[in-house]
Chain A
Amino acid sequence: MARFTPHTEADIREMLDTIGVDSLDDLFADVSPGFEGRLDLEPPRSEYEALWSAQKVAQKNATGMPIFLGAGAYDRIVPAAVGAITSRGEFMTSYTPYQPEVSQGVLQSIFEFQSIISELTGLEISNASVYDGATAVAEAALMTARQTRREPVVAVSAGLNARYREVIESYRVELVELPFKNGTTDFSNVPADVSGVFVQSPNYFGIVEDVAAASEAAHAAGALAVAVCDPISLAVLESPGALGADVAVGEAQPLGMNLSFGGPYAGYMATKKEYVRQLPGRIAGKTVDLEGETSYVLTLRGREQDIRRARANSNICTNQALTALAATVYAALMGPEGLREVAELSISKAHYLAGRLQEEGFRLRYPEAPFLWEFAVELPDVRRANAALLEAGIVGGLDLGDGAMLVAVTEKRTREELDTFVEVVKNAD
């Protein structure tokens, strides 16, 4: 009998009798075409055997090294308290909070997540999360079309993460290309008929973009302005809401989520109150119970698939509640000063590394552009540099394929690691 099924043979017999059938096979008499074979899977492993073999498989991955890769996922500190809370069975093993009387924990934590995202983005309404940063961007693209009642066509530049651009297109939204010069986007000629204008800041190359200019250009075209922001950056950069953006979206992974080979992370989405009907996904709202006690409940459900079906504003149902909880606990632990310090540590270390590389004669791809913790540096042979870094026990940056390496520096990197990076890259040729 399977590993987590508690019945004894006697239980099974008694239950079959109650049902009025003779055998388990009889319960499947209606199943046609039946599968008569046996699933060709490896024999069951005990827990110990399964985990031992999982360890062996995991050892084939190169981990335990300083990581200079970013491009949408960042090697940041995850405080121990985050995992302690997210592994609480009451949170981890619950479903979407359809029964609010026994789901106040999840509902309040969603409300707190929404509040944190609203505070960071400077926008009034946040949802409970979507799958990741890329799908948040794609959902925002569809949202702009619904709100403006235009065809889904959005203006983007090379500053928008290439992966996000691909997901927008997979969601059947057309891209219009804006010029990208010297590391930033030129918003002076936005076509008149687009539904949305996207600005990522810091952009794919780590550079701070002009969100205010993007917002103005979008509004002049009758489109919505969508800002794509790393939430850590919002501790130091002006909020997209204050700069006129209508929607802010992004990847919440830097807020306390393990890299985990790309997921689970969480996408966040925030907007102005007037656009809330077009915001996809769950929203937790505050209310009272019969006795007047403050409580929380999923609200504005009329936007969602289980109520509105074919006319819902998205098909999203399950989102990323548990990783959104991780973000909430992370933000609570850090607070405004901690988040700012994470940002400043990263900025200081990144600028130290960029400075040292420049001293060694390497050129930044966009030397004049203001960057935070990620930058593109031109190297004679990026592959060779990365091979040498790996040899030295360092995971190098992203090979942009055009003679430059995209290097991300987080608060985890030590001066020693940065110095080693420079030495190795310098001697790689």
Chain B
Amino acid sequence: MLIKDRGRAGRRGYRLPEFDVERVGLEDVIPERHLRREKPDLPEVDEPAVIRHYTNLSRKNWGIDTNFYPLGSCTMKHNPRANEEAAKIPGFATLHPLQPEEQVQGALEVMHDLQGYLSEISGLPAVSLQPAAGAHGELTSILMVARYFEEVGDESRTTVLVPSTAHGTNPATATMAGFKAKEIGLDERGCVEVEELRAAVDETTAALMITNPNTLGVYEQNIEEISEILHDAGAFLYMDGANVNAIMGRMRPAEAGVDVMHFNLHKTFSTPHGGGGPGCGAIACSEALAPFRPDPVVEKAGDAYRLARPEKSIGRIMGFHGNFGVMVRAWNYIRMHGPELKDVTDMAVLNANYVRARIREKYRIPYDTLCKHEFTAQPPKGKRALDIAKGLIDRGFHPPTIYFPLVVKEAMLIEPTETEPKETLDAFVDALLELAEADPGELEEAPERAFTRRLDETRAARQLVARW
């Protein structure tokens, strides 16, 4: 039942303060032609009904809090509640973004600290926290690359290269930033095919968008050679940082020749994903690209923090300074870890390899090497990833990412994260092994114990109903 159907005309869920000034007649201040004639059809419900409705809706939803959630490429780790407390401190939560700098020194300090932390983790000297999500960080980065070439007067750079394993956001970003996306294939290990890349890179290449470790969970071992190929051609190496949870304290992208990258604070740094956001797609970049960062960044002058526009900024990419509340959470998380972020990475990689090692007997591992924080598996012959996924639901596990990366048929991208105990991993593996043997007929019926059975997705698209 929808919230609207729980009410009745005239019911109210919130009491506002009384008028303490004279009530202005709308028609006295606004010309009548601008006034609303028909009342919007919104719920008319009381607060208890609202709380019950949404509490019950929440109970028709799984999160990390309720179930193991090994969704590959999404880093569904535990979201520490201390982060939530930090973001709720009134000194942060009630601050207006346009208050003058001298009134917001604490907020700017948080941002400045976080810029520094991300710089240390990546090895890259400059950071912008403004992008709201990973894809927004990608767009920001590629717009910076575009602006760089405009600045140096190089009009030939029209292409952005993207490996076939890339997230869909990478080619979509290239297009959105005005480039043509061109795909590069893989070698037998699942890494970027270096010779194909070498042949593809020329004076039209603006950048390569690489994910490392890539979406197969495989570390791009030729990354230094790749960066040389690009740099020799005057192009940039961009790194999609969705998988930074696999490398913290073990590898710094700058030292591999990465020029610009994004982080997903809502993955690596434990801020909650919220059912699809808000996130923060902070970027880090080299000195060469630093002047092109979005406006503003936080600088420190003496003891004071200030907002500054980088010299050749691409401009604003958000209305204000980005998703500050998300930044506070990530800042708090990093302050609770410090150099122990390396242990986070170690445990994430340990867990992924453990699950990989245990399911190998029944599942195919298309690129079967040491993985990093995630790996790609395929169901046994004759079984579909979709059916395994739905079977997992009946056994109490959120499915992994399925049918991605696109280069692997029936792909299941499994990312356990570091916050899961061995017992959970073992139970998950046992479920997968059991499903490998399950009767295909039974699997097609799954899930039977979820909040719904399988859905008619075609009907949703053909007879579009997107509102009450």
Contact = CB atoms under 8 A, between A and B. Distances in A.
A61 B36 contact: no
B34 to A, nearest CB: 5
Contacts of A75: 94, 96
B150 to A, nearest CB: 11
A352 B321 contact: no
B46 to A, nearest CB: 9
A69 B63 contact: no
Contact of B393 (A67, A102, A104): A102
Nearest to A68: B96
Given A18-B354, A347-B26, A105 B143 contact: no
A108 B22 contact: no
Contact of B344 (A2, A32, A307): A2
Interface stretch (B170-178, B197-205, B377-385): B170-178
Given A89-B66, A329-B50, A334 B13 contact: yes
Contacts of B93: 258-260
Contact of A309 (B97, B181, B252, B295): B181
Given A24-B350, A40-B120, A260 B325 contact: yes
Interface string B168-201: 1101111111100100000000000000000000
A77 interface: yes
Contacts of A411: 16-17
A108 B135 contact: no
Given A109-B57, A259-B97, A351-B24, A94 B273 contact: yes
A306 B404 contact: yes
Contact of B23 (A38, A317, A344): A344
A172 B22 contact: no
A293 B452 CA distance: 8
Contact of B171 (A43, A115, A310, A370): A310
A244 to B, nearest CB: 13
A192 interface: no
A63 B251 CA distance: 41
Contact of B74 (A92, A95, A293, A320): A95
A73 to B, nearest CB: 6
Contacts of A38: 249, 339, 342
B95 A321 contact: no
B58 A91 contact: yes
B442 interface: no
Nearest to B406: A309
B399 interface: yes
Contacts of A119: 40-42, 467
Given A235-B36, A289-B455, A57 B26 contact: no
24 contacts: A2-B337, A39-B339, A43-B339, A57-B110, A61-B99, A61-B104, A88-B54, A96-B273, A101-B393, A111-B468, A116-B42, A167-B318, A170-B317, A171-B317, A208-B31, A261-B320, A262-B320, A295-B452, A295-B455, A297-B460, A316-B136, A335-B11, A338-B14, A372-B30
A351 B30 CA distance: 12
A260 B105 CA distance: 14
B465 A344 contact: no
Nearest to A90: B58
Interface in A10-36: 11-12, 14-16, 18-21, 24, 27-35
Nearest to A352: B21
A398 interface: yes
Contacts of A6: 419-422
Given A263-B319, A415-B20, 19 more contacts: A21-B370, A50-B82, A61-B103, A81-B14, A92-B275, A93-B76, A95-B76, A95-B273, A101-B455, A102-B450, A131-B323, A260-B95, A285-B464, A290-B453, A290-B455, A308-B168, A315-B138, A323-B278, A333-B13
A234 B36 contact: yes
Given A45-B336, A115-B467, A339-B42, A262 B322 contact: yes
Interface string B241-283: 0000001111110011000000000100010111111110000
A103 B62 CA distance: 6
B71 A95 contact: yes
Given A103-B62, A116-B42, A285-B466, A71 B98 contact: yes
A323 B285 CA distance: 29
B132 A132 contact: yes
B206 interface: no
A27 B370 contact: yes
A141 interface: no
B90 A348 contact: no
B157 interface: no
Contacts of A310: 171-172, 174-175, 181
B316 interface: yes
A124 B19 CA distance: 35
A169 interface: yes
B86 interface: yes
Nearest to B42: A336
Given A111-B467, A261-B324, A395 B103 contact: yes
Contacts of A11: 421-422
A57 B108 CA distance: 10
Interface in A275-298: 276, 282-291, 293, 295, 297
A422 B339 CA distance: 53
Contacts of A234: 36, 40
A299 B86 contact: no
A129 interface: yes
Contacts of A239: 36, 38, 40
A349 B340 CA distance: 53
B349 A28 contact: yes
Contacts of A176: none
Nearest to A260: B325
A242 B33 CA distance: 11
Nearest to B45: A332
A418 B19 CA distance: 13
Closest 3 CB pairs of A and B: A262-B320, A58-B91, A322-B274
A312 interface: yes
B315 A166 contact: yes
Given A5-B343, A299-B464, A305 B169 contact: yes
Contacts of B30: 208, 236-237, 370, 372
A342 B16 contact: yes
Q: Which of B69, B266, B315 gathers the greatest number of chain A CB atoms within 10 Å?
A: B315
A41 B50 CA distance: 44
A29 B65 CA distance: 33
A374 to B, nearest CB: 13
B98 A398 contact: yes
